Structures are given as structure tokens and as C-alpha cells.
Amino acid sequence: MSKRMIIMLVACVVVFGLVFGLKGVLNFGMNQFFDNMPMPAATITATEAVSDEWVLALDAVGTVRAVNGVEVTTQVAGEVEKIHFSSGDEVEEGAVLVSLDARTDSAQLKALEAAARLAEQEYERFQTLFKQGSISRSELDRRQSERDQAIATANAQRERVAQKTLRAPFSGKLGIRQVDLGQYLNPGNAVVTLQQLDPIYVNFSLPERDQALLQPGLAVRASLSAMPDALFEGEISAIEPGVDSATRNFNVQASFSNEEQKLRPGMFARISIRLADSEEVVVVPRTAIQYAPYGNSVYVITEKQSDAVDGESEADGEVDATDKEPTLIVKRRFVKTGSERGDLVAVTEGLQAGERVATSGLLKLRNDATVIINNEIEPSSEIDPRPDNS
């Protein structure tokens, strides 16, 4: 029994050894096949990196602000007697907007004016008496003080009556009326907004490193999200002399002509400041850049000569160079990018003008991958793209 058992165990070991050995050989062969299996060529679009001269520019975002913009309010209390404007009117400086009931104040003014006239007459009589030596100097000074107080009180009441008539502090465009006839207003109650729209300001901020590049009068271009097809030309009117210690930015104000009143206070604006200097840059489409936390890169396309098909040798047994077929492969190259304009990106390091780069299909590429270029449908590469939103 022991001999049979040993023979059976040996047979089992041999059988299982052959099975596992065969499986290992098959797995090794399969892995070798997949590791060495040629990858199919990836279809991509491509373009050449080109050299261009870009005018140096600074970009920022800002907010449109009226040269003068206020919420017109009352200085005194009173009941609205008459409204002299309609919502949205254009008004000139000094135009009457609202009249408050001033009958009581006007009556008090007449009484105070009469008292002032009487005080003036009394003072003149006492001057005559003083010259005659009938009264003392102190008595004349007291009468003069009473006259001056009466005149000042009348003037104060006259100003109070004038404040019952609300006028436009400057020329501009009115907003929506916020009061009604007969409404009682307290001091500080809003009546209507008034904005001076031409010219108009755009306020924005820039990093402190750019402060030395700016000066008043420099040309500025603004575009609005509300009107993407319109560009507005202006110039820098003021530069904040100090820098915000929290953000390390400084504020800039640009002035724009706004005859058509397309720019309105509060609008969001994109600002571009064109400087006098320019620089030579190597430009590629934005889609050619593969962005990553460890660095940006592009896939540069090169040609690799492959052997001709077997049997196409010359009579002397050598293969003619003209019979070799060019194969396109890609090499990943890390680059340093600069400014961006539209669909284009400036590459400051790592790429030369004239080199071809892949512009689409980057996710399926790797080093030495074979590619096929098909530029029937190319990604947009405009410096000033204007997509059709229709």
C-alpha cells in the first residue's frame, strides 16, 4: 500500500506540475504579446507653432461707475406738493424736481423779514442818537447785535423755504420716481436716482508689479458681458498712488466717452491696456496645451522612417531610401506658457517656431505613440474668437 501511495503522489505531483507549468507558460506568452503588441495609430489634429509679435497688454476686470451718481434726497421734512419730472428724464443742473408744501415756512419768512427791517430801522435811529451823545456805545452795540440776529434768522428761514424746492445737483439721467403726490417726506428720504452717464468711468485694479507700466492718458479698451460684440475705447484718467496692503493691488480709473449711453453704472467690464512695447512669442492653440499640476506640456510630432515592405529591395540587395515610408510619432515635452489671447497661448520656453504639435486627442497619446493627422475639423485658434450663439 505504501508503494502504491507513493506512486500516486508522484503521479499527482507530475500532473499538477505540468498543468501549472503550462498555465505559467501561456500567461507569460500572453503578457509578452500584449506588452509588445503595436498600438494602433491615434487620429489627431495638428498645427505648427508660429512666431508672432504681440503688443504687450495688461488685462483686468472692472466695474462701470458714473462720474457723478447720487440718490437725490430731501434736506427738510414736508408734504409733496408737486412733482416736476417723469421717471427716466434727462435733466439739467438746477432743474426743479419736487416742490414741498412751504406755505407755513413762507409765512414765517415774511414775519422774520419784517422783524429784520424793523431791527435795521431801530439801529439807524440809535446811530443818530449815539452821534448826538444821547446813548452809550454799549447801547448802540446791543442794537447792532439785535439787528444782525434778526437778519440772520430771516436768512436761515429763507434757506429753509428754498430747501422745500428739490433741484438736480448736476445734469444727468433720472431713475425711477420713488415718491408720490401728497406723500410726507422726512429729511433723508430718497426721491429719485440721478446718474451722469457721459463721460463715464470704469474702475479696476492691477497687481503692484504693473504700477510702473501705467500712466494717465494710456489707451484702454473695454468689453462688456452684456454686449460681447462691442468694444469701447477710453484712456486712463487716474491711478491710485498707494497699494492695498491686503491684496497688493492698486486701483486705476479709466474714462470713456458714452454718448450713446451703452455703458451703465454697475456693469461688469473686461479691461485691456495696450502698452507701447511688443515682444516676439511662439504661439500655439490653447487646445495643444495639456495642463497639469506638475507642469504644462505639449505633444511634438516628429517623423520616424520605417523599413519598406519586404520584397521591395533593389537588384543589388539594398533598399532605396525613397521606398521608406515616414511614420509620425509624438514626443511629450514640458513647456512654460505665458500670456493668453483668445484661443492662443504664448509658449515662452520649450518649443520652437515651426515645430508641429497635436491640437486634439491629447488624452489618448503617450511618448512614441504613432499618430495620423486629420485636419478636416480643427479646433478654434483665433486671437479674437467670436462664437456664433445663434
| pLDDT tens by residue, 151-205 | 999 899 888 888 888 889 888 889 899 888 888 989 888 889 999 888 899 999 9
Determine the pLDDT at residue 203. Answer: 93
Q: Residue 42: what are its φ and ψ, rounded to 5°?
A: -90, 135
Q: Would the pLDDT of 226 be above 50?
A: yes
CA 284 – CA 45 distance, rounded (Å): 13
Greatest pairwise CA separation for the chain in angstroms: 166
CA 64 – CA 68 distance, rounded (Å): 12
Over residues 84-102, the mean pLDDT reads 88
Whole-structure pTM value: 0.59
**Alpha-carbon dihedral 195, 199, 201, 202, rounded to 10 degrees:** 110
CA 335 – CA 23 distance, rounded (Å): 47
Reported confidence tier of residue 251, pLDDT bands at 50, 70, 90: very high
Determine the pLDDT at residue 307. Answer: 53
Inter-residue contact 45 to 380 (CB < 8 Å): no
CA 219 – CA 174 distance, rounded (Å): 30
Share of the chain above pLDDT 90, in %: 8
Inter-residue contact 98 to 226 (CB < 8 Å): no
DSSP type of residue 288: G
- Of 365, 360, 363, 295, the residue nearest 330 (C-alpha): 365
Inter-residue contact 214 to 273 (CB < 8 Å): yes
Over residues 343-350, the mean pLDDT reads 87
Lowest-pLDDT choice from 26-35, 99-108, 173-182, 304-313: 304-313
Determine the pLDDT at residue 34. Answer: 64
CB atoms within 10 A of CB 219: 14
Over residues 383-388, the mean pLDDT reads 63
3-state secondary structure of 37: coil
Determine the pLDDT at residue 201. Answer: 92
Continuous segment of H or E residues that includes residue 98: strand 96-100
Edge-first strand listing for the sheet containing 96-100: 165-167, 96-100, 78-83, 184-185
Question: Which cell numbers in the block locate residue 40?
Answer: 494602433
Query: What would the pLDDT profile of 114-152 be if each residue is shown by its tens digit?
Result: 988 888 888 888 888 888 887 788 888 888 898 899 899
Over residues 284-303, the mean pLDDT reads 89
Exposed/middle/buried for residue 242 (C-beta within 10 Å: 0-12, 13-18, 19+): exposed
Residue listed under C-alpha cell 492718458: 217
Query: What would the pLDDT profile of 204-213 be if each residue is shown by its tens digit?
Result: 999 888 888 8
Structural domains of the chain, ranges and CATH numbers in brackets: 42-54+280-307+323-373 (2.40.420.20), 58-65+193-278 (2.40.30.170), 76-99+166-188 (2.40.50.100), 102-163 (1.10.287)
Inter-residue contact 63 to 253 (CB < 8 Å): no
CA distances, 356 to each of 40, 203, 379 (Å): 21, 42, 15
Over residues 347-371, the mean pLDDT reads 87
Residue listed under C-alpha cell 417726506: 185
3-state secondary structure of 64: strand
CA 220 – CA 257 distance, rounded (Å): 12
The rounded mean pLDDT for the chain is 83
Q: What is the CA radius of gyration of the chain?
A: 43
Determine the pLDDT at residue 390. Answer: 45
DSSP type of residue 326: E
Determine the pLDDT at residue 389. Answer: 53
Inter-residue contact 54 to 346 (CB < 8 Å): yes
Determine the pLDDT at residue 306. Answer: 57
Residue listed under C-alpha cell 491711478: 239
- Of 331, 327, 318, 319, the residue nearest 362 (C-alpha): 331
